[in-house]
Each structure stands twice: as C-alpha cells, then as structure tokens.
Amino acid sequence: MVEYTKTEFLIACASRHVRDGENVFGGTGMPLLAALLAKETHAPRMNLISEAGYIDARPVQVPLSVADSRYYYGCSASIGLIETLGFLLQGGRIDVGFLGAAQIDEYGNLNTSYIGPYESPKVKLPGSGGGNDIASSANRLIIMMSHDKRKFVKELDYMTSPGHLEGPGSREKWSLVGNGPEVVITDLCQMDFDPETLKIRLLSVHPGFTVEDIKENVMFDLIIPDDVPTTEEPTEEQIAIMHKLDPHGVYLGKGS
C-alpha cells in the first residue's frame, strides 16, 4: 500500500487532468507541482508558462514565485507580463489555468476578495491578482481548494472570478474567451460540471470518505450521479517525482 499525504494526493489528482501538448499556466504551490508532475509522466509535451513570461519552463526544482529565476532554466523564451497576459492568455492561447478560492458557488464562480458585507467585511482577502484574467480567458480551469461547508455556498459574498456565471449561455453573453471551470479538486472529492445545467456535480470521492460526507459539506443541491467512483490514489512513481522536484519540502511540507 502506497503511503501519501493529503498534499501529495491533491497534486496527483490535479496532475491527471493536465493533457499532453497543452499550454498550462502553472503558478506556484500545488498547481505548479501538478503541472511539473504531468510533464514528468503522461504529458511530456506540456508547455509550462509562468505569469511573468517564462515559456516552456523546465525548472529542475520548484520556483518560489511566478518571477523566480528558477522558472528560467531550460525555457524556450522569456517575454513580459503584458505579453503573457495579453497575447497568450487573453488571446485564448492558454489551455489550462489553475485557481483556488475562499468561496465557490454551484456554477463555479469564485470569491477571493472578502468575506462578509462589502461595506464592513469580516475578512479581507488578497483579491483577484491574475485570477479574473485566468478564469475569463483560459480554455479550461482547474480549481483546487480545501473542502469546508462555508466555502461551498449558494451565493458568494463577492464574485472575484467568473465560473459559469448564471449557467448556459452566460459566458458567451459577456464575451468571455475561455470555457470556464472543468473540475474542482478538494481534500474530500473531485467535482465537475453537468454539461446541460453547468451546475457542479460530484465526480469522485476520495478514499475514506462517502457521498454523504460531501453532501453534508456543501450549501447547495449538489448533483449526485447514480455511480460515484473512488478517486485514484497516487503511485509510488508520482510521489518520488514530487519529492525530486521539491526536495526541501517548500510545497510538500517538511514532514512529508
């Protein structure tokens, strides 16, 4: 039996959603490790792109930020932030973007701005950064976030980044370039979106959890298919590659 941490499990899950030959906005943290893991395994022609402008990056060890010079190693080109966000992202040339969120609703819309009323928020969050650009323009979106009932809400306190907005036709109405979120990966399950309603739907449940656990930890009517499989676990090879990429536990953690 393969032993793994929660972080390793989430990275392995996300990695499997990256396809060979895609242009991927990797960012930092777990999304970056997921993209690099995919490149080392099933997607060798995946093109890792940094927001700061590193194209086809091949870092030997994980960068600490999107502008870290470790991103530069082995890359095919180094362009600017404006060209990356404009020509590549807003031009519809990024296949996959990764985002996290403090809140998500049943259409995959995201809040990373504040919790509570606008006039007097309980918590102020970092805001959009490049999140709105990625959510609006990447061809598809992979969302990674911790699973807590208060995060999966019927109505956001604030919409920072668009998912499927109000449902079918909404993104086209507002002329958004990308197709919106495709999968949501949490520490309890994986979710995707019903093709007809574009509402969030249970895709798989992680080992040790049940469908009831998931239903109890969302604040909207989650679509539950008749057959919900158990999420595939990481392999020894995947875990070994993660630790080769992050030998100092920057993202994996010192104790993993």
Bridge pairing between strands 54-55 and 77-78: antiparallel
Q: Are 107 and 156 in contact (CB under 8 A)?
A: no
Burial of 154 (0-12, 13-18, 19+ CB in 10 A): exposed
Q: Are 164 and 180 in contact (CB under 8 A)?
A: yes
Q: What is the per-residue burial (b if ≥16 Cβ within 10 Å, else e) of 59-83? A: beebbeebebeebbeebeeeeeeee
Under 8 Å CB-to-CB from 198, ≥6 apart: which residues? 107, 108, 164, 167, 168, 180
Q: State how far the Cα of 163 lies from the Cα of 107, in Å rounded to an integer.
A: 6
Per annotation, catalytic residue among 8, 40, 51, 106: 51
Please state the φ and ψ torsions of residue 43, each to the nearest 5 degrees. -130, 65
Q: Quick one: DSSP state of residue 86?
A: I
Q: Active-site residue 236, yes or no?
A: no
106: tokens are 């049943």
- Residues known to be catalytic: 51
